[in-house]
Amino acid sequence: MAEELGGEVRQFYFTMGNYDIVAITEFPDDATAATFVLRISSLGNVKATTLKAFQEDAFRMIFDAV
C-alpha cells in the first residue's frame, strides 16, 4: 500500500510495551502519509499514531528561524 502511494516502508519492528509495531516510513509529502495512515486505519484492525521526524539539517533550519 505504501508503494502504491509513492512511499516506502523503511524499517518495521515488532515491539513490547504500549505499541505492538513501529514502522518507519517515507512518503513524498505529509498529505500522502496521511492518506496511508487513513487507509491502514480503515481496515478496522489497526490503530495508528504518527510522529513526524525531521533530519538534522531541516531541524537546524527551523531552529534558526526562531
- CA 27/CA 33 separation, integer angstroms: 6
pLDDT single digits (tens) 1-52: 999 999 999 999 999 999 999 999 999 999 999 999 999 999 988 888 888 8
What's residue 66's pLDDT? 85
State residue 16 phi and psi, 5-degree precision.
Answer: -115, 145
What's residue 45's pLDDT? 87
Query: What average pLDDT does range 43-66 have in this prediction?
Result: 90
**C-alpha grid cell, residue 60:** 537546524
pTM for the full model? 0.76
Cα 60-65-66 angle, rounded to 5 deg:
100
Report the Cα–Cα distance between both ends of the chain, in Å, rounded. 37
**C-alpha grid cell, residue 3:** 508503494
